[in-house]
């Protein structure tokens, strides 16, 4: 009796490479009767939605946005003071340009010293990188009734780009002071808005207020969050307990609760003559809330720094606070940048919550305009809300793209 080796009659089935879109569709969309049915039904649905969307976009009454664009952007800022927001816009164009340029120049110098390749950023790359923002600006400008805003916006973009190239060619000694230039310009932008008969930030509204609350909230909350995070890791039980207690208490309640507490509860505790204004109390509530979240983000970063880093710093005789400042924090904070951007995104959206307390930020403005006599009962909420949604979406989407970029970059060269 002989044992025959098994013989494979057929060659193992080979996956045929797709030959074209028709072939691909037949294989993936129409390979049996129920898939074909699903494909047809879903295609019909997609077409129907698209048609409805385009028809809606074409036939919608945009007059409500056109007439209220200023309210959406800067709230009830006096019409004869419009040069102020524009001046501030130009300040920020210079800030973003110079800071971006000097960061690029710093990366270029470090790369060349370390012998790593460095690819120069081109204008085309900048446009591709920020296309959602640029598209949004175009959409917003399409709602303006005079040509002045368009010209001024183009001017701001040109100034921003010019500042970027300026930032790239600044000599190293000057570049070290870029942060100071930024601080001075931020102060200048605020003075141009509020100083000499302007409007202080308690009187702001629209998108301007959302942006202000986001930036100011996070900026001021950051040092407190840092202290809380370090307090949570402290070896002193009192400090640790207070930090943990604060963080867990604040993180355990919704932001809206903290805002309402800031609006009403604190009002009762603090005497009237030293009580901060209503919007100020909102900002304080946001800061108090964000500090707890930032503390947790920073704690994550601190934990990401290996124990050996601290030991190596101790072994060369570095004092504890210098170890923290020079070794632990730079690494920890770098690791937290993506999470911090996430926090920024969620706060940007959360600033709309102050609408509940009657402050006319962007979302509230999109509601308010619907009760103007010209638009009352016309059901234009869908138009105004879509407009606000577009602005928030572009802002958040851009931030999240930037965050992913950073995550990729942080892995390179320096770790």
Partner 1 sequence: MTVTDYSDATRATGDAIIELVAVDKFFGNFQALKDINMRVGQQEVVVVIGPSGGGKSTLIRCINRLEKHDAGRLVVDGIELSDDVRNIQEVRRETGMVFQQFNLFPHLTVLDNVTLAPRQVRKLPKKDAEALAMQTLTRVKIPEQARKYPGQLSGGQQQRVAIARALAMQPKVMLFDEPTSALDPEMIKEVLDVMVELGRGGMTMVVVTHEMGFARAVANRVVFMAEGEIVEVGTPEHFFTDPQEVRTKLFLSQIL
State the nearest-atom distance from the C-beta of 232 to partner 1, in Å: 23
Binding mask 138-157 for partner 1 (x = CB under 8 A): --------------------
Using CB under 8 A, which residues numbered 314 to 353 contact partner 1?
Answer: 314-319, 322, 326-327, 330-331, 334
Nearer to partner 1, 118 or 201 (CB): 118
Q: Which is nearer to partner 1, 1 or 316 (CB)?
A: 316
Instruction: Select from 311, 356, 382, 405 the one that contacts partner 1 (CB under 8 A).
Output: 311
- Segment near partner 1 (CB under 8 A); pick from 225-233, 308-316, 350-358, 378-386: 308-316
* Phi (first) and psi of residue 361, to 5 degrees: -85, -175
**Range list of β-strands (E), 1-59:** none
Smallest gap, in angstroms, from Cβ of residue 114 to partner 1? 5
Nearest approach, Cβ of residue 333 and partner 1 (Å): 10
Of 150 and 309, CB closest to partner 1: 309
How many residues touch partner 1 under the rule CB under 8 A: the total is 25
5-44 binders of partner 1 (CB under 8 A): none
Is 414 near partner 1 (CB under 8 A)?
yes
- Distance separating alpha carbons of residues 346 and 392, to the nearest angstrom: 11
DSSP state of 61: -
CB of 99 within 8 A of CB of 182? yes
Sign of CA dihedral 23, 37, 44, 388: negative
Part in contact with partner 1 (CB under 8 A); list of ranges 43-51, 216-224, 311-319, 381-389 = 311-319
The residue within the footprint of partner 1, chosen from 13, 21, 115, 237 (CB under 8 A), is 115
Write the CA distances from 161 to 87, 99, 141, 231, 234, integer angstroms.
17, 11, 19, 42, 45
Least distance in Å: CB of 335 to partner 1?
10
* CA–CA distances in Å: residue 298 to residues 158, 228, 331: 37, 9, 11
Round to whole Å and give the CA distance between 128 and 144: 25
63 binds partner 1 (CB under 8 A): no
304 binds partner 1 per the rule CB under 8 A? no
User: Judged by CB under 8 A, which of 43, 54, 114, 154 binds partner 1?
Assistant: 114
Provide the minimum distance between the beta carbon of 110 and partner 1 in the complex, in angstroms, as a whole number. 8
- Report the C-alpha gap between 20 and 22 in whole angstroms: 5
CA distance 110 to 411: 15
b/e map 114-153, b = 16+ CB within 10 Å = eeeeeeebeeeeeeeeeebeeebbeebbebeeeeebeebb
Selected from 6, 13, 17, 308, the binder of partner 1 by CB under 8 A is 308
* 80 contacts partner 1 (rule: CB under 8 A): no
Nearest CA to 246 out of 287, 214, 215, 278 is that of: 287
Using CB under 8 A as the binding rule, whether residue 312 contacts partner 1 is answered as: yes
Q: Which residues contact 137 (CB under 8 A, 6 or more apart)?
A: 153
Which residues of this chain interact with partner 1, rule CB under 8 A? 113-116, 306, 308-309, 311-319, 322, 326-327, 330-331, 334, 413-415
């Amino acid at each position: 009796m002989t044992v025959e080796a098994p013989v494979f009659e057929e060659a193992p089935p080979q996956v045929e490479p797709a030959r074209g879109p028709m072939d691909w569709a037949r294989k993936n969309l129409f390979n049996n009767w129920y898939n074909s049915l699903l494909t047809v039904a879903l295609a019909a649905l997609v077409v129907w939605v698209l048609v409805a969307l385009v028809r809606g976009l074409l036939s919608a009454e945009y007059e409500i946005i056109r007439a209220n664009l200023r309210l959406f952007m800067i709230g009830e800022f006096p019409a004869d003071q419009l040069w102020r927001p524009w001046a501030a816009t130009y300040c920020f164009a210079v800030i973003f340009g110079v800071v971006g340029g000097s960061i690029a120049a710093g990366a270029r110098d470090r790369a060349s010293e370390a012998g790593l390749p460095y690819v120069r950023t081109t204008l085309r790359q900048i446009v591709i990188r920020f296309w959602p923002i640029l598209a949004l600006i175009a959409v917003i400008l399409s709602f303006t009734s005079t040509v002045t805003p368009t010209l001024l916006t183009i001017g701001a973009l040109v100034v921003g780009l010019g500042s970027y190239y300026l930032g790239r060619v600044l000599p190293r000694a000057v570049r070290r002071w870029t942060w100071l230039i930024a601080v001075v310009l931020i102060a200048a932008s605020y003075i141009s808005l509020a100083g000499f008969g302007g409007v202080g930030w308690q009187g702001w509204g629209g998108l301007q207020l959302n942006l202000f609350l986001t930036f100011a909230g996070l900026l001021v909350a950051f040092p407190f969050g840092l202290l809380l995070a370090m307090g949570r890791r402290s070896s002193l039980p009192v400090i640790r307990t207070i930090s943990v207690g604060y963080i867990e208490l604040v993180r355990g309640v919704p932001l809206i609760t903290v805002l309402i507490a800031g609006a009403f509860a604190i009002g009762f505790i603090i005497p009237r003559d030293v009580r901060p204004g209503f919007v100020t109390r909102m900002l304080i509530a946001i800061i108090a809330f964000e500090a707890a979240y930032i503390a947790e983000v920073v704690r994550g970063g601190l934990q990401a720094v290996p124990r050996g880093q601290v030991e190596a710093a101790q072994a060369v005789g570095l004092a504890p606070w210098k170890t923290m400042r020079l070794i632990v924090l730079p690494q920890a904070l770098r690791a937290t940048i993506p999470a911090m951007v996430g926090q920024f995104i969620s706060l940007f959206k959360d600033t709309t919550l102050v609408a509940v307390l009657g402050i006319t930020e962007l979302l509230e403005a999109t509601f308010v305009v619907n009760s103007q006599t010209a638009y009352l009962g016309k059901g234009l909420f869908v138009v105004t809300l879509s407009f606000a949604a577009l602005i928030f979406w572009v802002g958040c989407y851009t931030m999240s793209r930037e965050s992913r970029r950073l995550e990729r970059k942080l892995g390179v060269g320096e770790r």
